[in-house]
Each structure stands twice: as structure tokens, then as C-alpha cells.
A = this chain, B = another copy of it.
Amino acid sequence: MTKEQSVAGLLQTHGQPKVLAKQTHVFYQGDHDARVYFVQSGLLKAYYLSADGKESIKSFIEAGSIIGSLNAALGQGGCSFNLVALEPSQLLGLPFATLVEAAAQSHTLAGEVIQHLLALAMKKEQREYELLSLSAEQRFVRLRQTSPELLKRVTQNDIARYLGVTPVALSRIKKRGS
């Protein structure tokens, strides 16, 4: 294998293209998909489905982001969530192991991976904070401030399930704060 010096370069050479129509799943909860995906274009959602059928949305993934199930990547079991395209999307898939091996070969790549993981950890920390400390209404106000474009691309149902409330509750929240 060539010594790739960046995540971008690695994806160019070893990434396998994947074209997704709307509503197509990349993987389901329980699948053993140990790849990371780079989103070239489109929009996806990562969501949990509980035993009683309730859907909770973990995150929306826009172009430029990287997504994959850590659980499956680290071989600790299947994917912990579902991944589906909300809009037609183009991805590049790369086995997680390939990334790890390449990182072991190249200092600069390892540094890049560390930066990616630090950014990921900070994003998760922010979300954790909002879920722990803010009310549903406060979370909605924040989302409207930070990602107004996203609100236009995603149904209110999905926004609600991302905020951790039912669509009915979100409709009420909007009415209250108008």
C-alpha cells in the first residue's frame, strides 16, 4: 500500500464510491459494517429504533462529514444505529482498518485522525450538554440559531425526534414561542 499522507488522499485512492437514492439505507442497526463513510454530497440521518418502535435521531450528516458506527468499526458488535439518505447522496466508503493501518504508517495522517476525533468528541460533548441541561424549547431555539438551513431541508417530524420530543410537542413549542 502506498503511504497516504492525508485522509482526503486515502479516500481518493481507496474509497469505494456509493450512490444513494433518497430513503436508501447505508446500514441498519445490528449490521456489521466496519467502514467509515465520507459524505461528498447529499444529506443523511443516523437514528436509533427502540424495541417498541420509537425513533430517536442521533444526528444529521451533511456534505463534508465523516460517519460510521464506532461500535462496529472497533469490532465490539454490530452498528448501534441506522443510517439512511434523506436526499440523494454520494459517499466514499473506506474500511476502518485501512484507516488505522494507514495512520500507523504516517505521522501526518495520524495527526489528522487525532484532530478529527477531537472535533468529534467536542461535538458530542456539546450535544450531551444540550440534552442534559436544556429544555426541549431551549434546544429548539439553539438549533434554529445554529442551523437555520437544516430546518428547511428536514421535516418537522425529524427535527422533533432529533430534539428528543414528539412531533406534537414540537408543534406546541413553535406555537408558544411565536
Of B48, B117, B125, which one neighbours A80 at CB under 8 angstroms? B125
Verify if A71 is at the interface (C-beta below 8 Å from B).
yes
For chain A, the bracket of interface size reads 20 to 34
Verify if A66 is at the interface (C-beta below 8 Å from B).
no
How far is B120's CA from A113's CA once the two chains are assembled, in angstroms?
14
How far is B128's CA from A36's CA once the two chains are assembled, in angstroms?
20
Verify if A175 is at the interface (C-beta below 8 Å from B).
no
Interface string of A84-125 (1 = CB under 8 A from B): 000000000000000010011001001101100110111011
Find out whether the CB atom of B104 lies under 8 angstroms from the CB atom of A111: yes
Closest to A124 in B: B124
Of B103, B104, B124, B131, which one neighbours A125 at CB under 8 angstroms? B124
Closest to A81 in B: B129
How far is B128's CA from A50's CA once the two chains are assembled, in angstroms?
15
Query: Assuming the A-B contacts A48-B129, A80-B129, A128-B131, are A118 and B58 also in contact, with contact meaning beta carbons closer than 8 angstroms in the complex?
Result: no
Find out whether the CB atom of A133 lies under 8 angstroms from the CB atom of B74: no
How far is B83's CA from A52's CA once the two chains are assembled, in angstroms?
38
A residues in contact (CB < 8 Å) with B: 48, 50, 54, 56, 58, 70-71, 74, 76, 80, 100, 103-104, 107, 110-111, 113-114, 117-118, 120-122, 124-125, 127-129, 131-133, 164
